[in-house]
Structure 1
């Protein structure tokens, strides 16, 4: 039997202060990013050729679009009262739930889920490329760590997956069924799902609204460094944690389940920050490392609340899917994305945005106030 992990520090240890020196650029990083841009462009071109409409190269399928408000908690301790969260406030938000692939698949091809949150009306020093905007984005996935440690390790994985874009769905459904069985075996032994297996179709068939979402790679958190998560806490949402959702034979079953839920109920999520307290056990340049919560737990910094609404319509999709971009590089300098995976996202996301805007003849821009979702 494996010995339990022993952490030399306690969860009460002081958080590491941010310094530019926490990042270490790979000498080949620029070339790797060019490779990622080319790979994502390949996905964009394939899906555009099929549907004559440009969609995202990852997280292409929208499963729900919500509008609501973020309330930043009052009385946060100094280490959490940082950046956007330095003082209490109430901000409009747009939330987009999605599934990971860059092509639009039936939901019986079971893949990881995403949640992108756009916070509007945020003032302060901006990130490069985000000057003049008033938004803060957090781009999240339902797992605490990224599927690869670095851009260089991620490139061959995404290149391989890109070759399956728009291939016969029947084969993908068969592979997904096998991968779900593999995932069950892994969970029975380790207690945790495997990120790679989930990406290959082994995501457990559960309700997307019961998921906790994580930004997976670190960001600056004012004077400190953190990862961010969003977790459902209202009773109706919390009841969906791990709840089975059978979507076999229902191509848009996840979206339909989300629509059905928000026709009947609103929801509340808790925003949380996990502060970095040990650069060895909680590395900046290895996005595949799960930061141990025994060392530093996720702590509440605010809450997001939405009321009953229609979570999907063609009008909402036009406004958000075609007219908005979600990127961790939209935001405050106080929440600068950190590490290789985050650095790569800046250029990769920008290239994908340009492709969608040009092919669809749409202006993609940041809202300055609560948007009209066309309802």
Structure 2
């Protein structure tokens, strides 16, 4: 019997066979690359899980050569201040653009756990008068629509006790300096020196890839930096801020966090701002506090170190897990309705210095990045104020 073939085989041309061959091997290569990527991700996750585990020291570990590296960073920071000055006005080397400095009240919880009654939180129910500066993170005042870090600095006033810095004995202040990411994109002073030098030279890629040697690459830290540069919030009063670096908290070590707490204030929905305007975050702040006369509320929290967990002091690129140590509320912050956007107050805001070392021993900053801050903040503050003719 003769079999009828309804669809006789078609002869594939030579170019067609070539494309089939290329397609087949392209698919195989793609699957291989995907498999290698997944394997690399798995091995990397396992390695980081092993590296970032186990107990850590509850004491500072100062590496050799840190003082010399700090002096290099100060010189680079001065160069950045010179590069970014506005005419004859010298700006901060970071967080140069303020949305405003506003008055606030920081009240310790009335029923605070005795274990949390440390330093400025020792007296339950105590209310501190404070200044709060809200800012962008960049060293140059750019449009608010540009992806950037956002900062909050809190200065408690009339704080009794001996100040940490001899030059601050008459000021009686306690500062908390924070920004809107839980961890930093550098681990220590050595990496910070490399990072800031690359940025000052206009070589941002070199900040995380200093050489062709893959062992020197800081891919994880680059990803942290990219996640830090976030879209602007509707208002700086709706953002959570972190100290990133640790401090003493009495005899313990801790990090701080400030979170919005709208339940403590009258209900308020901020009107949408024109995000094409260069200073729409200041406009949002002004709209709520000055035009609509609506206060803003936050909670101030601490996360105490558990040294049996991987909660290192000397590596600010590591986020302390809340599963290892939860944040605990110690105070509330209330920003009342006010008129803050005046030439006099804006000038005062520009000249106001915030430094984690402006404070008392109970909240002494610890770790390499904080030791660096002590030297750099003081040097840059003196440099700016001298050139701006501010006492």
> How would you bin the TM-score normalised by the shorter chain?
0.7 to 0.9
Q: How far apart are residue 26 of structure 1 and its match?
A: 1.3
The DSSP-based 3-state class of the residue aligned with 1:358 is helix
TM-score w.r.t. the length of structure 1 is 0.79
Verify the 8 A CA contact 1:210 1:239 in the aligned structure 2. no
| Residue in structure 2 matched with residue 315 of structure 1 by the alignment | 344
Q: How far apart are residue 108 of structure 1 and its match?
A: 2.3
Q: Which moved more, 1:131-140 or 1:154-163?
A: 154-163
Q: Which moved more, 1:306-315 or 1:267-276?
A: 306-315
Q: 1:20-35 to 2 correspondence within 5 Å?
A: 22-35=59-72
Verify the 8 A CA contact 1:142 1:211 in the aligned structure 2. yes
Structure-2 change in CA distance of 1:61 and 1:279 (3 Å): farther
The DSSP-based 3-state class of the residue aligned with 1:68 is strand
Is 1:256 aligned to 2:283, yes or no?
A: yes
Is 1:282 aligned to 2:318, yes or no?
A: no
| Residue in structure 2 matched with residue 371 of structure 1 by the alignment | none
Q: How far apart are residue 240 of structure 1 and its match?
A: 7.4
Q: How far apart are residue 232 of structure 1 and its match?
A: 0.9
Structure-2 change in CA distance of 1:238 and 1:195 (3 Å): farther
Structure-2 change in CA distance of 1:109 and 1:309 (3 Å): same
| Residue in structure 1 matched with residue 119 of structure 2 by the alignment | 83
Q: Deviations over 1:200-228 (max 9, x none)?
A: xx412322221110110000001111001
Structure 2 stretches lacking a partner, 5+ long: 1-37, 204-221
| Residue in structure 2 matched with residue 57 of structure 1 by the alignment | 93
Is 1:227 aligned to 2:255, yes or no?
A: yes
Is 1:148 aligned to 2:176, yes or no?
A: no
Q: Deviations over 1:93-137 (max 9, x none)?
A: 000000111111112222000000000011123313333331100
Q: Aligned equivalents of 2:258 and 2:173: distance in 1?
A: 18
Q: Aligned equivalents of 2:227 and 2:267: distance in 1?
A: 22
Is 1:161 aligned to 2:161, yes or no?
A: no
Structure-2 change in CA distance of 1:244 and 1:292 (3 Å): farther
Q: Deviations over 1:302-336 (max 9, x none)?
A: 111121113433221111212x2000000011100
Give the superposed CA RMSD.
Answer: 3.0
Q: Aligned equivalents of 1:69 and 1:148: distance in 2?
A: 33
| Residue in structure 2 matched with residue 189 of structure 1 by the alignment | none
Q: How far apart are residue 279 of structure 1 and its match?
A: 5.5
Q: 1:193-272 to 2 correspondence within 5 Å?
A: 194-198=223-227, 202-207=229-234, 208-235=236-263, 247=275, 249-263=276-290, 264=292, 265-272=294-301
Q: How far apart are residue 295 of structure 1 and its match?
A: 1.1
Is 1:360 aligned to 2:378, yes or no?
A: no
Structure 1 runs of 4+ with >3 Å offset: 1-9, 235-241, 243-246
Q: Which has the higher contact order (CA 8 A, sep 6+)?
A: 1
Verify the 8 A CA contact 1:205 1:246 in the aligned structure 2. no
TM-score w.r.t. the length of structure 2 is 0.76
> Which structure has the greater CA radius of gyration?
2
Verify the 8 A CA contact 2:81 2:93 in the aligned structure 1. yes
Q: Aligned equivalents of 1:274 and 1:156: distance in 2?
A: 30
Structure-2 change in CA distance of 1:276 and 1:44 (3 Å): same
Verify the 8 A CA contact 2:104 2:131 in the aligned structure 1. yes
| Residue in structure 2 matched with residue 340 of structure 1 by the alignment | 368
Task: Give aligned pairs, total.
Answer: 323
Is 1:121 aligned to 2:158, yes or no?
A: yes
Q: How far apart are residue 148 of structure 1 and its match?
A: 0.8
Structure-2 change in CA distance of 1:350 and 1:66 (3 Å): same
Q: Aligned equivalents of 2:377 and 2:174: distance in 1?
A: 15
Q: How far apart are residue 138 of structure 1 and its match?
A: 0.3
Q: Aligned equivalents of 2:195 and 2:73: distance in 1?
A: 10
| Structure number having the greater helix percentage | 2
Verify the 8 A CA contact 1:206 1:244 in the aligned structure 2. no
